[in-house]
């Protein structure tokens, strides 16, 4: 049964593989490890559609890992703006520097796992796809396919051990990278979270979830906990056509990014810090943003005084070029709110 599953899936992949800019054709030469690594880091908790333009921008600006390692961190962080999960960008810079110093990427799963920002899944994916090592690659799509294929009905996250064992059992010794990508494609396009297109699935005849009559119930997920809600304030201080921006601390929420000054919501929960300048303020509206572990309502306060002199380090950024500042999505929303109201 094991050989049948892998051969059926690889035959399907040969005919239906997605054309993605970081991939090589099925059965072709192995892709550049740099492009595989970059795509896998970007794809963590992010859709293919969202990643494509960022991948194109990064590979145009920095064509290899040596170029990325030599790039100023501020430029990399600005190019990443809007993609979210900014710790990935900080680790990207650290990892590029380490790989460049090593003279290239480690070629084993164990070696790759030692790099900054490279966890078990990413190490396995790079090892299999870029270096042809037999590695067991399990992301959310693979997790879902395997849970349905073998009708694993233990709730997550407890089921992950059994899912990994089953994934290991069906991973072939040859073409492990193509097999991993085939599983990803199957989970993203055929065996999706909201649908199970069993009539189009190359593994339907072997699928225990389909045989049970209700594959969509798998994998069984634990009930979601309600996210806590935080509140805070960002401050819009404008002078002579420029807005005051600060650089956030390297560690913590949105670390190392340009941003509007705020009242400390990210550190203390509900914001209670002081405004960066004294004087009159007026309300500019509220933006809402969802982070992984909490939802945020961020009020935007607009300075109504004249010739402000903010305390601390920062820079005056031309309002007409605010889109070039590389603001993370939260603060880009706040800027858009202010400018839309002005228009």
Q: Which domain holds residue 275?
A: 229-342
Q: Is the pLDDT of residue 2 over 70?
A: no
**Which band of pLDDT confidence, cut at 50, 70 and 90, is reported for residue 271?**
low
Task: Kindly state whether residues 173 and 258 are assigned to the same domain.
Answer: no
Task: Kindly state whether residues 65 and 200 are assigned to the same domain.
Answer: yes
Q: Give the domain-ending residue among 217, 249, 279.
A: 217
CA dihedral 258, 264, 268, 269 (to 10 degrees): -80
Weakest mean pLDDT among 82-91, 281-290, 302-311: 302-311
Task: Kindly state whether residues 244 and 274 are assigned to the same domain.
Answer: yes
Residue that wins the pLDDT comparison between 251 and 229 = 229
Please indicate, yes or no, if residue 223 is contained in any of the structural domains.
no
Task: Kindly state whether residues 237 and 295 are assigned to the same domain.
Answer: yes
Residue 224: the pLDDT is: 82
Domain count of the chain? 2
Q: Is the pLDDT of residue 288 over 90?
A: yes
Q: Is the pLDDT of residue 333 over 80?
A: yes
Task: Kindly state whether residues 75 and 196 are assigned to the same domain.
Answer: yes
- Catalytic positions are 40
Please indicate, yes or no, if residue 9 is contained in any of the structural domains.
yes
Q: Give the domain-ending residue among 193, 217, 241.
A: 217
Handedness of CA 166, 190, 13, 83 (dihedral sign): negative
Facing residues of 221 across strands?
156
pLDDT in tens, 113-122: 999 999 999 9
Q: Percentage of the chain surpassing pLDDT 90? A: 77
Task: Kindly state whether residues 204 and 261 are assigned to the same domain.
Answer: no
Residue 111: the pLDDT is: 97
Task: Kindly state whether residues 249 and 192 are assigned to the same domain.
Answer: no
Q: Is the pLDDT of residue 343 over 80?
A: no
**Which band of pLDDT confidence, cut at 50, 70 and 90, is reported for residue 272?**
low
Task: Kindly state whether residues 89 and 46 are assigned to the same domain.
Answer: yes
Local structure of residue 215 (DSSP, 8 states): G
Q: What is the mean pLDDT of residues 145-161?
A: 96
Q: What angle do CA 97, 52, 39 make, to 5 degrees?
A: 35
Task: Kindly state whether residues 278 and 169 are assigned to the same domain.
Answer: no
Q: Is the pLDDT of residue 87 over 60?
A: yes
Please indicate, yes or no, if residue 313 is contained in any of the structural domains.
yes
CA distances (Å), 58 to each of 39, 67, 159, 191, 325, in order?
10, 10, 37, 31, 16
Q: Is the pLDDT of residue 62 over 80?
A: yes
Please indicate, yes or no, if residue 12 is contained in any of the structural domains.
yes
**CA 288/CA 261 separation, integer angstroms:** 17
Q: What is the mean pLDDT of residues 59-64?
A: 97
Q: Give the domain-ending residue among 217, 246, 262.
A: 217
Residue that wins the pLDDT comparison between 261 and 273 = 261
Facing residues of 301 across strands?
235, 283
Task: Kindly state whether residues 212 and 234 are assigned to the same domain.
Answer: no
Q: What is the mean pLDDT of residues 99-128?
A: 97
Residue 266: the pLDDT is: 60
Please indicate, yes or no, if residue 224 is contained in any of the structural domains.
no
pLDDT in tens, 23-34: 999 988 999 999
**Which band of pLDDT confidence, cut at 50, 70 and 90, is reported for residue 255?**
confident
Please indicate, yes or no, if residue 222 is contained in any of the structural domains.
no
Residue 3: the pLDDT is: 63
Q: Percentage of the chain surpassing pLDDT 70? A: 96
**Which band of pLDDT confidence, cut at 50, 70 and 90, is reported for residue 276?**
confident
Please indicate, yes or no, if residue 25 is contained in any of the structural domains.
yes
Q: Is the pLDDT of residue 78 over 70?
A: yes
Q: Is the pLDDT of residue 37 over 90?
A: yes
Task: Kindly state whether residues 96 and 200 are assigned to the same domain.
Answer: yes
Task: Kindly state whether residues 128 and 52 are assigned to the same domain.
Answer: yes
CATH code of the domain in which 88 resides: 1.10.340.30
CB 79 within 8 A of CB 57: yes
pLDDT in tens, 199-240: 999 999 999 999 999 999 999 998 888 889 999 999 999 988
């Amino acid at each position: 049964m094991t050989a049948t599953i892998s051969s059926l899936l690889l035959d399907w992949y040969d005919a239906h593989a997605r054309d993605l800019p970081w991939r090589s054709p099925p059965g072709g030469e192995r892709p550049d490890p740099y492009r595989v690594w970059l795509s896998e880091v970007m794809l963590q908790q992010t859709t293919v559609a969202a990643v494509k333009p960022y991948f194109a921008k990064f590979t145009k600006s920095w064509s290899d890992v040596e170029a990325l390692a030599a790039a100023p961190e501020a430029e990399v962080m600005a190019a990443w703006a809007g993609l979210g999960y900014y710790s990935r960008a900080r680790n990207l810079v650290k990892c590029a520097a380490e790989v460049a110093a090593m003279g290239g990427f480690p070629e084993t799963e164990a070696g790759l796992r030692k790099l900054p920002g490279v966890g078990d899944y990413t190490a396995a994916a790079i090892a299999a796809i870029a270096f042809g090592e037999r590695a067991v690659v399990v992301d959310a799509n693979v997790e879902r396919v395997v849970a349905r294929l073998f009708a694993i009905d233990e709730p997550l996250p407890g089921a992950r051990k059994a899912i990994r064992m089953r994934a290991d059992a069906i991973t072939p010794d040859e073409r492990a990278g193509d097999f991993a990508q085939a599983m990803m494609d199957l989970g993203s396009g055929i065996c999706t979270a909201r649908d199970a297109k069993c009539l189009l699935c190359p593994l339907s005849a072997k699928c225990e979830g389909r045989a049970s009559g209700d594959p969509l119930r798998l994998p069984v997920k634990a009930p979601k906990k309600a996210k806590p809600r935080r509140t805070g304030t960002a401050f819009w201080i404008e002078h002579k056509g420029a807005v005051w921006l600060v650089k956030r601390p390297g560690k913590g929420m949105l670390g190392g990014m340009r941003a509007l000054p705020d009242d400390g919501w990210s550190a203390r929960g509900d914001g209670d810090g002081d405004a960066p300048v004294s004087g009159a303020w007026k309300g500019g509206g509220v933006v809402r943003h969802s982070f992984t572990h909490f939802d945020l309502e961020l009020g935007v306060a607009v300075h109504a005084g004249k010739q402000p002199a903010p305390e601390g380090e920062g820079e005056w950024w031309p309002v007409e070029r605010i889109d070039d500042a590389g603001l993370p999505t939260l603060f880009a929303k706040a800027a858009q709110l202010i400018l839309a109201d002005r228009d």
